[in-house]
């Protein structure tokens, strides 16, 4: 069983950017194989990592549903479950030191309960053969409980420097409890901090929410520059301040 890291927090706080830097750090340390799961409906971690994705799980779901509606069945006499497994494997994008699976979304009106169940089982069993499973989540945690039955070793909650964003991750922490998700450690990362410092009010809110602050990532003009120019963030120089901050955070949890 591999080590599972999930990242959650309000939209726009930097989850995907920091997840990308985290993966880059694991790859450079030779901590492979790594399975990256992009669980955001607006999938975009491939841009941070600099890889092209051919196909998403949502598209597979759609295709399987279309095959059933049209009554064409599955190629080579495969059963639905066999076909899903085969297609899941084709949906794995090979990156440099990691594999990437993009959940995407389904546009159709169909009922996907069966397919979702099969896909969840198969994704979970696929991830067993990796040393690390890294999940870039969308804002909440509700859908994660539907997409994986995995035990999460470390959940990073990402917030920017606003009290509201800290409150939002505080609610995610509560939700994790309510949903009974299996999470061993929850750590807060505050991103986009001016000069890498936190305002007293923000520190106060972190205490109110009972969050465990593991690290601060500064407001970084290089991230802005790379993103605006369409350059994958993993290409940031090794002495980039955000890269160093992520490295420090991972060493805090002994990775
Ligand atoms: N430390 C940072 N400094 C400056 N800009 C950042 C930083 N982290 C993220 N960003 C920018 O914030 C925006 C949202 O980041 P993203 O990673 O997509 O957030 P999320 O996945 O939480 O929605 C992007 O434009 C990204 O370039
Ligand atoms: Mg994102």
User: Which CATH number covers residue 209?
Assistant: 3.40.50.300
Residue of the nearest CA to atom 15 in ligand 1? 14
Which contacts of 64-72 are long-range, i.e. CB under 8 A and separated by 24 or more positions? 64/115, 65/106, 65/108, 65/110, 65/112, 65/115, 69/110
pTM of structure = 0.94
The C-alpha torsion from 211 through 43 and 102 to 225, rounded to 10°, is: -80
| For residues 16-26, average pLDDT | 98
11 lines ligand 1 (CB under 6 A): yes
Helix (H) or strand (E) holding 124: helix 113-127
51 lines ligand 1 (CB under 6 A): no
Q: Into how many domains does the chain fold? A: 1
Interatomic CA distance for residues 112 and 114, integer angstroms: 6
pLDDT in tens, 90-135: 999 999 999 999 988 866 666 677 887 888 888 888 888 999 999 9
16 lines ligand 1 (CB under 6 A): yes
pLDDT in tens, 61-95: 889 988 988 998 999 999 999 999 899 999 999 99
CA 17 to centroid of ligand 1, rounded, Å: 6
* Residues spanned by the domain of 89: 3-252
- Say if residue 147's pLDDT is above 70: no
- Say if residue 148's pLDDT is above 70: no
CA 18 to centroid of ligand 2, rounded, Å: 9
Ligand number with the minimum distance to the CA of 22: 1
CA 107 to centroid of ligand 2, rounded, Å: 20
- Say if residue 208's pLDDT is above 70: yes
Report residue 190's pLDDT band, with 50, 70 and 90 as the boundaries. very high
Ligand 1 mutation pick, 159, 223, 229, 232, max ligand atoms within 8 A of CB: 223
């Amino acid at each position: 069983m591999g080590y599972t890291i999930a990242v959650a927090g309000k939209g726009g706080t930097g989850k995907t950017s920091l997840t990308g830097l985290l993966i880059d750090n694991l790859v450079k340390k030779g901590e492979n194989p790594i399975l990256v799961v992009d669980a955001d409906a607006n999938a975009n971690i491939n841009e941070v990592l600099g890889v092209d994705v051919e196909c998403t799980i949502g598209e597979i779901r759609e295709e399987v549903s279309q095959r059933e509606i049209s009554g064409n069945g599955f190629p080579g006499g495969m059963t639905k479950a066999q076909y899903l497994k085969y297609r899941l494997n084709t949906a794995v994008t090979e990156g440099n030191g990691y594999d990437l699976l993009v959940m995407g979304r389904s546009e159709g009106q169909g009922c996907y309960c069966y397919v979702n169940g099969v896909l969840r089982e198969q994704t979970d069993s696929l991830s067993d053969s990796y040393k690390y499973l890294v999940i870039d989540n969308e804002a909440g945690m509700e859908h994660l409980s539907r997409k994986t039955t995995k035990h999460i070793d470390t959940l990073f909650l990402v917030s920017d420097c606003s009290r509201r964003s800290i409150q939002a991750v505080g609610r995610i922490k509560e939700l994790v409890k309510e949903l009974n998700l299996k999470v061993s450690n929850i750590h807060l990362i505050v991103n986009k901090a001016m000069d890498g410092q936190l305002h007293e009010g923000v520190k106060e809110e972190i205490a109110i929410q009972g969050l465990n602050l593991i690290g601060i990532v500064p407001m970084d003009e290089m991230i802005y520059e790379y993103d605006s120019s369409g350059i994958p963030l993993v290409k940031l120089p090794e002495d980039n301040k955000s890269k160093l901050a992520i490295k420090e955070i991972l060493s805090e949890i002994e990775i």
